[in-house]
Amino acid sequence: MGAIRKATLALAATAALASPAAFAGGMIDVFNESETLIQPYFKSNCWGWALAGQTGWVYFGNIGGFGGRFGWDFKDPALTDPTCAHPVVEFTYGVNQVPPPDPQKGNRRAAVHFSPDTNTVFQIGKSLYAKELEGPDDTGR
């Protein structure tokens, strides 16, 4: 179809701009800046109770093009086992309602060593710029 002109998959930690108590860490967000509807798939070595026993890629719905976004709170025990010492989350996607094969790691697949106090962003179709900023101190500044 050729609708995806640029298949850049950028992976970066997002900036934490709120205080630690209000900060919802452990989010994984996918932004689809391409022109094509995509189907995101995730794989993990530490699925929580809702996905216990899953070993392959798990389909998570569709994400529309032109800035579509989908996010998951992977520190939720339904999605990530809180007793798992070293969770790894992998991401890939398919297009045109066709599931991806188990792709080699590259520009359509990425893996992150997941941490519930860090956010992760996958962006498809455009470059991603992220800057980590220091959080406020105990005086709120």
pLDDT for residue 29: 93
Tokens matching residue 106: 């590259």
Asked if the model's pLDDT at residue 24 lies above 90, the reply is no
Assigned domain for 137 exists: no
Domain that holds residue 37: 9-15+23-124
- CA atoms 50, 53, 55, 56: torsion sign: negative
If one compares 129 and 37, the residue with the highest pLDDT of the two is 37
Indicate the pLDDT class of residue 107, thresholds 50, 70 and 90. low
Number of structural domains, the chain?
1
Does residue 67 fall inside a structural domain? yes
Percent of the chain past pLDDT 70, that is, above it, reads 77
CA distances for 49 relative to 24, 28, 52, 58, angstroms: 21, 18, 5, 14
Using a cut of 0.75, tell me whether the model's pTM lies above it: no
Burial degree of 140 (CB within 10 A; 0-12, 13-18, 19+): exposed
